[in-house]
Amino acid sequence: MNRPADLLRFYAILDRLTDRLHGTHRLSDCRGGMGWPLRGVYFFFEPGEHRTEGPPRVVRVGTHALKAGSKSRLWQRLSQHRGAASGGGNHRGSIFRLLVGESLKGRGQYQNAISWNVCQDKSKAAKQLGIPREQVSLCEHPLELAVSDHIRSMPFLWIDIADEPGPDSHRGLIESSSIALLSNHGKTEIDPPSSEWLGRQCSRERVRSSGLWNNNHVDEDYDPTFLSLLERYVESTTPLKTPRR
């Protein structure tokens, strides 16, 4: 494997994807009725985060519906990251939201959100902390709003991969190998995050060391064959049918 060369190829493929989609999108401008593909893989960038040579660097890769029988759709997963129309959200249903919120707290903000990342259910969090359930929602809400603002401002791309959920999914291979290729965890740093990157304040060492809003796959090796798969699916991905507003 030649990681520097494979990264160059990876970003060249994403450049072609950007052209095919007529540019990046932001979740602040997106809604469900825009002709989203059924399933896919997405790639997030972040304002202020660039590769060493200058272009934007990918800061998160994700997919959905990897377990056999899963019915989740691409837009369903993206909307979980985006949060509710009101601006709030549920970090217990999105690891992306959870990590961004942890990092905002790590920066010294929103310290009243004492139940953040406590249990996978608000009622259980309330019981563990010995506070009313309503207080859990109240103390988390300002941080959920801030997380929504942050994620909604991040440009992203996606590819259409309609394969069936399961262990042999091409989406799983492209997600895991993209993360492993991009990750600096335990490797010579390539395209490190900026000194101001919010993820540097995350409590999870894997986020800080990888330079990604990902916790899984950052310590794995990538399969170089995924790049050819990625190219193939980029060429079959089409823009959204409904104009953005």
Can you give the pLDDT of all 245 residues of the chain as single tens digits?
A: 899 999 999 999 999 999 999 999 999 999 999 999 999 999 999 999 999 989 999 999 999 999 998 999 999 999 999 999 888 999 999 999 999 999 999 999 999 999 999 999 999 999 999 999 999 999 999 999 999 999 999 999 999 999 999 889 999 999 999 999 999 999 999 999 999 999 999 999 999 999 999 999 999 999 999 999 999 999 999 999 865 44
Give the C-alpha separation, 219 to 217, whole Å: 5
Q: Does any domain span residue 73? A: yes
Q: Does any domain span residue 231? A: yes
Q: What's phi and psi for 128, nearest 5 deg?
A: -65, -35
Q: Does any domain span residue 244? A: no
Q: Does any domain span residue 240? A: no
Q: Contact at 8 Å (CB) between 157 and 43?
A: yes
The pLDDT score that the predictor gives to residue 1 is: 83
Q: Does any domain span residue 57? A: yes
Q: Does any domain span residue 156? A: yes
Q: Which residues fall within 8 angstroms of residue 17, CB to CB, at 6 or more apart?
A: 157, 159, 234, 237
3-state secondary structure the chain: CCHHHHHHHHHHHHHHHHHHCCCCEEHHHCCCCCCCCCCEEEEECCCCCECCCCCECCCEEECCCCCCCCCCCHHHHHHHHHCCCCCCCCHHHCHHHHHHHHHHHHCCCCCCCCCCCCCCCHHHHHHHHCCCHHHHHHHHHHHHHHHHHHHHCCEEEEEECCCCCCCCCHHHHHHHHHHHHHCCCCCCCCCCCCCCCHHHHCCCHHHHHHCCCCCCCCCCCCCCCHHHHHHHHHHCCCCCCCCCC
The pLDDT score that the predictor gives to residue 86 is: 86
Give the C-alpha separation, 204 to 99, whole Å: 8
The pLDDT score that the predictor gives to residue 242 is: 66
Range of the domain at 216: 3-235
Q: How many domains does the chain have?
A: 1
Q: Does any domain span residue 141? A: yes
The pLDDT score that the predictor gives to residue 245 is: 45
Q: Does any domain span residue 13? A: yes
